[in-house]
Structure formats: C-alpha cells, structure tokens
C-alpha cells in the first residue's frame, strides 16, 4: 500500500476517534438533599442547542409520589437562560433543577463544575432541588458538583490506533 495512503488513513482514523466538542457528558457528584436522599446519574449537554440531549438521574429514597428517576426516555428537559437553570421534568409537575453561574459553563469539560443559585426560590440555596409543582420539596445541600464522564475505552482504543498508525507512517517515511 502506498505510504501516502497509509498516512491519510491513519489521520482519518485519528480524527474519527476524537470525541466531538459539540457535547459533554456530565456526571453528578455528592448530590445530597436536606432529607438525606441522594441523586446519582449523568446528562449529556449539547453546546450547539444549549440543551440536555440525554440524561438518566436517580433520586433515592423515592418520595411517595416522586418519579425517582428522571430520564430522556420518559421525561423532558429545558434550560432557562435568564436564570441559568437546567430542569429535568417527569410527568406534569415533578422537576429536578440545577442552577449555574452561566449555562455556557456546561459547554467545556473541566475537572469539576460547582452549582450556583442566582434565585434560591428556583434552585435552592446550593443550586439544586427536586420539587412537585415547584413548591420546594427537597432542597440540595452544600457540596454538589459536576465532573465530565470518562471517555469510553473503545474511544480511547480507536484514538490509540490512529496515533499508532501516524507513528508507523512517519517511521516508514523516514526509512
């Protein structure tokens, strides 16, 4: 096979394997409510549309009529830019809300991203709450944050293969 074709194929594999910057998967960490319940899960943020495009968040223990799970399969999500609030909704009334200093902070992965409450009636004192008809039901406690999810092993393996191909092509070119 022609060395140039090998090189171009290697570069193509590398670029296909690189994660897209159009979305970031955020993992919930240390989400504890004032009644001792916890929220665990993740959501994918699309920077192009400024919306969550997939999510799966469990809240345990479940209140008597709470959904217990907020999922893109059964619920909806919307962001409210003037107050920088991201809301996951199940059914007509149950909502899990997150507050940020600026929703644009969700566009770029960082080691950790803290919550922020611009309006405590909307997101509680520490930037998150779960509510029924948005009469604050459970308010979040201090210390919750988001972190980017670790890339899947298949993505890393494909990227490694692309880098190895580039290295091989350079070695062949030098020989």
Query: Could you tell me the two tokens for 14?
Result: 């590398």
The pLDDT tens digits of the residues spanning 111-134 come to 999 999 988 889 999 999 999 988
Look at phi and psi of residue 115 and say left if phi exceeds 0, alpha if psi is from -120 to 50, else beta.
beta
Q: Could you tell me which of 139, 145, 135 has the C-alpha nearest to residue 106?
A: 145
Q: Where are the beta strands (DSSP E) in 63-127?
A: 69-71, 76-80, 85-90, 94-99, 113-114
Percent of the chain with pLDDT strictly greater than 90: 60
Question: Of the ranges 3-12, 19-28, 113-122, 162-171, which one carries the lowest mean pLDDT score?
Answer: 3-12
Q: Is the pLDDT of residue 93 over 60?
A: yes
pLDDT score recorded for residue 134: 84
The predicted structure's pLDDT at residue 14: 46
Q: How many CB atoms lie within 10 A of CB 118?
A: 15
Per residue in 52-68, pLDDT tens? 999 999 999 988 788 99
Residue 37 structure tokens? 């319940």
Question: What pLDDT score does 88 carry?
Answer: 97
Output the six-digit token pair for 173.
């070119």
In 115-155, which ranges are E strands?
128-132, 135-139, 145-148
Residue 90 has pLDDT above 60, yes or no: yes
What pLDDT sits at residue 63? 81
Helix (H, G, I), strand (E, B) or coil at 67: coil
- The phi and psi torsions of 77 (rounded to 5 degrees) equal -140, 145
Cβ-contact 100, 124 below 8 angstroms:
no
CA gap 124, 147 in Å, rounded: 21
At 82 the pLDDT is 87
Of residues 33 and 80, which shows the higher confidence score?
A: 33
Mean pLDDT of all residues in 79-86: 91
Instruction: Read off the DSSP letter of residue 110.
Output: -
């Amino acid at each position: 096979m022609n060395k140039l074709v090998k090189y171009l194929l290697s570069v193509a594999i590398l670029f296909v394997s690189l994660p897209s910057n159009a979305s970031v998967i955020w993992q919930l960490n240390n989400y504890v409510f004032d009644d001792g319940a916890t929220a665990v899960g993740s959501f994918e943020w699309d920077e192009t549309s400024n919306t969550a495009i997939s999510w799966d968040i469990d809240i345990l223990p479940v209140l008597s009529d709470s959904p217990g799970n907020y999922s893109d399969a059964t619920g909806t999500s919307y962001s409210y830019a003037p107050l920088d609030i991201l809301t996951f909704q199940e059914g007509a009334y149950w909502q899990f809300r997150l507050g940020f200093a600026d929703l644009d902070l969700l566009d770029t992965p960082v080691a950790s991203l803290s919550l922020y409450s611009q309006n405590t009636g909307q997101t509680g004192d520490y930037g998150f709450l779960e509510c029924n008809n948005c009469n604050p039901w459970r308010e979040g406690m201090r210390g919750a944050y988001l972190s980017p999810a670790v890339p899947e092993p298949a993505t890393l393996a494909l990227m490694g293969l692309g880098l190895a191909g580039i290295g091989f092509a350079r070695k062949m070119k030098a020989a």
